[in-house]
Amino acid sequence: MSQFAALTIGVPFPCSAKAIVTGLRSLLRFLQLEGLIDRDLALAVPSVAKWRLASLVKALDASSVARLLDSCDQGTAVGRRDFAILLLLSRLGLRIGEVAALRLEDLHWRAGEIVVRAKGSRRERLPLPVDVGEAIVGWLRDGRPDCEGRFVLTRARAPHEGLHPSSLNGVVHRACQRAGLPEVGPHRLRHTAATQMLRAGSSLREVGQVLRHRDTEVTSIYAKVDRLALVTVVQAWPRAAA
């Protein structure tokens, strides 16, 4: 018993049931290898149930998004670029890879559309909101360096290559720090875009189209953010068999 205590002293408690189960199984296997127990008790530890789409969507509220955007100094090239990035993430719900892949020829100004280079080499058109378009124009005219590259979003300093998705993570994290908000990732802004569309009256189908979900079941998770939206996915209670 004293050896067991020595193994566990100073070990922090895991933050999830799954981590607890994994740690307990490892401990039991170690005890068996050391000869402290005579059988593999790890097999007796049950798995943690995990249901698909069971978690709640975490999104930022409107005031937090405004603080993120206001933290960008639009008097500088980097500030104008970061402002455009945050709008693409929070207004259109683009993934960081899609933002990084955006090219000059993907902007169709006359049609008011933007071509998104999505997963699986798909290219899909989305309406380009006025505020997002104005932010991109501000970066292209008064920020983006004169270079041969075709990426819309580039490094402000040489070499003027396109931004890597990891760099976009850094843009969001630094904006959180400037705004005095807990650090979140770019995907939280994708959830935020979906949530704001729902609260503005968009249907789940429309949200799925903007986010480019292939499976409507994936979009249904956003129904949890609004009780009224649950009406569109609720199923009738099955009647008892006669």
Q: Which residues are identified as catalytic? A: 95, 119, 187, 190, 213, 222
- Helix (H/G/I), strand (E/B), else coil: 62: helix
CA 206 – CA 84 distance, rounded (Å): 23
112 in the Ramachandran plot: left (φ > 0), alpha (ψ -120 to 50) or beta? left
- Cβ-in-10-Å burial (0-12, 13-18, 19+) of 180 comes to exposed
Q: Is there a contact between 72 and 175 (Cβ–Cβ < 8 Å)?
A: yes
Q: Are 43 and 105 in contact (CB under 8 A)?
A: no
Token duo for residue 201 = 């009256």
Q: Tell how strand 113-117 and strand 123-127 pair up.
A: antiparallel
